[in-house]
Structure formats: C-alpha cells, structure tokens
Structure 1
Amino acid sequence: MIFDEPLSPERQASSRRNFNIFNLINGLSYMCLGETVIILLAVRLHCPDSFIAALGAMLYFGYLLLPLGKITTARVGAASSQALFWVLRNVAALLVAASAVISLYWSQPFGMAVLLTGAFLFYGFRAAGVVMSQPLYGDITTNENRAAFLAATGGLFYCSCLIALTIISLLLHVSQSLWTLTGIIVVGATLGFSSSRFIRKVDETSHIRRSAAKPIRGELLMAFRNPVLRRQIMAGFAINLGVIMLVPVSMLTLKRGYGVSDTEALLYALVQFAASALMSFLAGRVAERIGPRHTILAAYALLLGVAVLWLCAPASFHWYYMILPFLLAGGATVSMSNSMIHYFLQTVPVENRVGSSMFIAVINGSGAGLAGMLLAGSLLRNTVESGISFGGLAGYRLYFLGAVLVLSPGLWIIRRLKPLPLEKRRILKSWSSTAD
C-alpha cells in the first residue's frame, strides 16, 4: 500500500519480512533462468557462438526498457511496478523455454529469434522492475537498521542462488537432456511468479511515486554536460563491454573448447557466483582503504586477467586450472559494479541522482550491449566459426587475444576518473534512500 505519511515501525518491519521472502524465492528463480542456464540451452540447441555472445549482451542491452519502470512507478508505485515487471519477466522466461520446442519441431532460425527476444525481455523487464528499488529500501528501513537489512536480504538472495545452483547441478548430473534444461527454466518462471506476490505486499510512501512523476529532461541535460559524469559513463561503458566480451564466452569456451558436461559447467558457474558473493562484502572495505577508483582499476585489470588465463590454458582439461578464470570473473565483476555505485553516490548531488542514474544505466547498458554484440560476434565469427584456427580451443584463444587488445584501452579510461578525497571513501549509511 501507498501512504502519504512515513511508514510506522510495524509496517516497515512487515515490509522487510515480505521483501526478504521475495529475495529468497527470487534467488531460487534466478538461478533457473539466469545467463548460465540460458547459455547451456543455446549450446544444446546448437546455436552458433556469435549468437551466444549476443545472448550474453542481453543482460545490458535490456536496459533500453528501464524507463518503463519510472513511467509505471509514477502510476502505481514502486512495489506494484516491480511486481508487474516481475510477472512480465517470467512470462519472457517461458518464451525462452518455448524456443526449445520451436527449434526442434518447427524452425531453428525462428526458435533462435524467440530465444533472443525472450532473453532481451527477461533482462529488460528486470531492469524496469528494479529502477526505483533503492528509494523503496529507504522507505522500509531506518538509518539504524538499513545496513543490517541490506546485508541480510542480500545474503538470503545469494544463499538461495547457491542452493538452487547445487540442485540444478544434481538434476543435470542425472539427466543432461534438453528437456531437463527446459523444465528447469519453467520451474524458475513458476517460482518467479510466486515471488511477485510478496513484493506487492511491501508498503511505501507517496514520495516515490511523486519523484517518479517528475520530468527528468533537465537532469538528463545536466548529466550530459557534467564532465565528471561523462567520465563515469565512459568508464562504465568500458567495464560493461569487458564483462560482455569475457564472461559469457568463458562459459562457452569451457563447453565447446573442452567439451565438459552441463553438470561440470554449472560447478564452475557456482565458483563464479561464490566469488561474486564474497567480493560483494569485501569490495566496500577495499574501496574505503584505496578508494573506489583504484578498486575499479584493479578489478578491471583482473577481468583482463580472465582473457590472459584462457590464452595460457592447457590443451587438455585440468579442473583446478579452470577454477581461476571463473574466480576472477566473479570477483572482478561485482567489485567493479559496487565500486562504480560507490563512486557515483559520492560525486553526484542527491537532487540529481534519479535522472543521472537512469541516464548512465541506459547509455552504458544498451550502448555497451550493442557494442558487445557486434564486437564479440565479429571476433567469434572470424576466429572460432571461420575454421581458420585449426581447432576449437585455438579459435577461442584467438578470440581472447583479440578481446584483450580491444579492451586494454579501458585501463586508461578508468584512470581518468577523478580520485575521491579520503573523507568520501566511506559509503554513506543512508545511500539506499537517495540513490537511483
């Protein structure tokens, strides 16, 4: 419900419980629908590598739909808006599942088109759903309990993700058929539908709806003219492009370069996700000591290290070596993301954050998504798919060599971010009430 006055402690507590339940179920759902399972499905459908690279870019290209969340929030509020887009997100997941049936029994090209469309809508509706989530956190928490709540609800999400990924690995160990993967996606969508019931029960104040209804044209113009924000946009673009070109193709290399089973592939996805979970807690402490700019720079260098590890990978499969690129990918990705948020909050005034954050998300998300699709797809077509590489693994090595050359200028772009003074390196306790 939407209230004109601040929420009472009882309503805040009830809303936090419902949000925790939502995150618990959502973690189970996401692992059944997320990028790892979608990539495994595409491999099972014999999609070309360049197409799978485009699937990996949908996570960012979907930010084109983010403004829909602001428009809807202005009408129905943040909680109802997220509930609506969560339903639509899981409808899109059913499209992804339907692509398997279409590919097998009707037309593979049409099935691939349905798969790509479903992935775009899945990530796009997610972006639209969470656009006003941070102000919602501010309504249901106080300065005293906000940090504890964010840690707890994030922990529930990560724990349920790890549980779901373990169960999925066991299921695929029993049966690695296409229908098992399709069934996992359908189960994930069903869980996603049920989770939307709990986010709808979260209360909020009318301030969020009024904020979403304000025109942001002036803020967007200010963001475009601000040199500090322009440098953040360039750095965020480089980061997203790096993730798009290196992380999904790492899973692809594992599957097609070494021919590992779906179960083994998911175990490495588990390693990557565990590294992300760990660094989500540690990255803030690191940024407080060396500053978010240096943290971003170091994490981006580690991300480039993923490509170097694949360049140096042995010809035969060694399970312990393969852990390394997925550890780096998981830890570097979340460190860069969290530190960019930290940097944004400390350099952008409160009154400009809604418009600026939307501007950055759309430009960096959709822009890097489009660039990543084109660059990764072109590199894969000219290395792995062209047949000039004399072997699948050698083709992927050529791909990662090209990716390092393309992405290395990102180090210079990130270095151009202005360092924060010491007193601004600590994340504000009340950040979630003002950001986004």
Structure 2
Amino acid sequence: MSDRLPGFSTLAVHAGAQPDPTTGARATPIYQTTSFVFNDADHAASLFGLQSFGNIYTRIGNPTNAVLEERVAALEGGTAALAVASGHAAQVVVLQQLLQPGDEFIAARKLYGGSINQFTHAFKSFGWNVVWADPDDITTFERAVSPRTKAIFIESIANPGGSITDIEAISTVARKAGVPLIVDNTLASPYLIRPIDHGADIVVHSLTKFLGGHGNSLGGIIVDAGTFDWSTGGKYPMLSEPRPEYHGIRLQETFGNFAFAIACRVLGLRDLGPALSPFNAFMILTGIETLPLRMQKHCDNAKAIAEFLAGHPAVASVSYAGLPGDKYNQLARKYAPRGAGAVFTFSLKGGYDAGVSLVSKLQLFSHLANVGDTRSLVIHPASTTHSQLDDAAKIKSGAGPDVVRLSIGIEDKEDLIADLEQALSA
C-alpha cells in the first residue's frame, strides 16, 4: 500500500491483521492455547524480563487478542491497547496503575449504573475514593480537585440518557490538575467520537457493546493515548519508580509513549488476571469489521425513532442529543457530527408504572440489560440497572422513575416505530 493513511473503514477491516504466516489463513485465527513454546532459555528469560516482546501465557497476551488490541488502538488514534475480560475489568486495571489507598478520582455523575456502583462501593475495598462532579457544570470538576486527585473519569456519550460530554473542557481541568483524563467511549465508538483527538489520555470500552456489536461476547479494552508524562511530580509510582518484579525497570523511562499500556499488561492483567478469551477476541474482531456500517444505521434509526416519540401524546419528553431542540445538540454537532449514537431515554407521562408496563408490551424490542446489539433493546433503568440508587441519585444520573432506555438496532425503522406505537397505545 502507498504512504496514504488508511481510512476508518479500511482500518476496521485490516488494522493489526495479516494472513497467517504458517497456513495463509486470511481471517485471524483463534489461538486457543494457554501457553507458547520458547526458542531457548535466553529467549524465555528476555520475555519474562521485558527485554523483548512475545507470547508467554494467554493470561498476559495472545496473538488473537493482539490483533484486536492493535485494531482498536488504530481506530482510536492511540499508541497501544490492552484487551481484558470486560468493560468493568478495564476500569479496575486502569485505576490500579494510578491510585494508591487513600487516593481520589473524580467521576462524572452521568454514568452507566454499574460503574456508579463499582466506583461507590467495590472500589472502597481498595481504598480508592470517588468524588462526583456534574458534567453539565465544568466548575464542579475544578472544585473537586484535591492533592489526592489522581484521575478524572467521564463517558463521551453518557449511559443511559445519551447526553454528550464536553471532553475538551474537562480535559482542560485535567491538564491544570496534572492528572490523566479517562474517557469511556463505549456508547460512541471511535466511529462517532475519538476522545484522544479532544484531549483524553486513556480510553476504555466495553467491547461487549457496539464494537463487538452482536450481543454474543464479553470484552473490554484500554487504549493508551501516549500523551501523558507519568514521571511528573512522582504521582504515579507504578509507572515512574523502579519495579522490583522486573529488576528495577522504570516503565515510563523504558517504554515511553506506550508505558501505560505496558503497565496495565505486566502489572495489572498479569496479577489481577481478567484475561480475554481468544475466542471472544475473534468474535469481537469480526464485529468491528462492520462497525462503520452498523453505527451509521444505528444512528439513522435512533434519530427517526426519537422524532416519532417526541410527537407521541403518551411521551412526556425525549432525551436524544440528535434532536435539534435537545440541550446537548450543539455538543453533538461538535463531537459527533455523524450521529448522536443509538442509546437514548424518554419519559412517560404515566411515570414508573407506565415504564414497567411498556417494556412488557414491546414485541420486537428485547427487554434485557445490554446496549449496542444489532437488535433493538429496551430497559426500565429505575427498576433494573440503576435500582441500587435512591430516587435523587437516579434522577441525577438520568435514570428517573419515569425513564425508559432504548438501544436502537439495525432493523427497519418502520418496524421499530410500529412496535413502539402498539405498546404505547396498549
């Protein structure tokens, strides 16, 4: 190929992959093995000592997973990536490199309910403390910064409400505080938004959602932007200080602009163990090949359905950034000009009971706890994904008692609208 930089759709099909050198197989093989044979004792020692790159054990790395990692890093514009077992696993591995017991990280209030639960409760056992900020008021991030702050965490498109976060404004806060900005880009995918282009230092995904796209495989990924200096001020000893388990190597000094991805692999994945199955990596790779086609169809369908719901007498309000009158429409135009995503919420005039009733009457929409499938999905967050929160917290996170969340698939939009019409009428 010439020196021309490949386009997004080309990268989605080809990045990281070559025909198998032994068999000539065009599709990336599933290397379903636990471990790999060393050339000799010196080769083994160099791999374990981080003097050379290669395969040791699938918990740490695998050739199928490596193609997935290189592909997502290319799509996001990062320097390197690490695939793990789930989106939640990605968040644990990322923050393990950054936080010591007693440290804090700032998180946007508008997040997936599972992340709110993980940050509020599970991370307490590690001594990691979350401080909440309002993504609609950037000054709340500024006020939340303290000497213990080690990171800021946001979603590019927030789950469940589909609101667009002002990544550049929050990146400015992170730069001033001298901490990395972590962006969960699950709902947008790099087809709609590339957070690194707007100041993110680390990007995470639940690969389970739009990147995999077919609701058949769990996975998560961490993308290193290569933009943060981990040696500044001694805040991040996991990266800047000598690592005793690797004969005193300083990861920042040795690996430069992909040191964070290396740390996540050789300190996080190695010891915590949330490895991604090579089979799941293969399934997700296959899904990514059609990501541009699917995401555009998702977005086109979602806008049509949001417009339908906005005019329905049983609907109190629709929260979709793709609608001209939505409060996030200007941010959507700036960050996601191809479309505002496929996940959004609407409120029913009948409140909580109407939301519960609606999901039981839909026939084409599947009632389940997932987003990003080719199939259209529905859930009532207040009774499910956000049920652990009190009503005030549900409302702050965009999951009030009257709210229904839709994840719009790639079916014919007329059929989806007909299903919503019959359920709302019933």
TM-score (norm 1): 0.28
Higher strand share: 2
Q: Which has the higher contact order (CA 8 A, sep 6+)?
A: 1
Higher helix share: 1
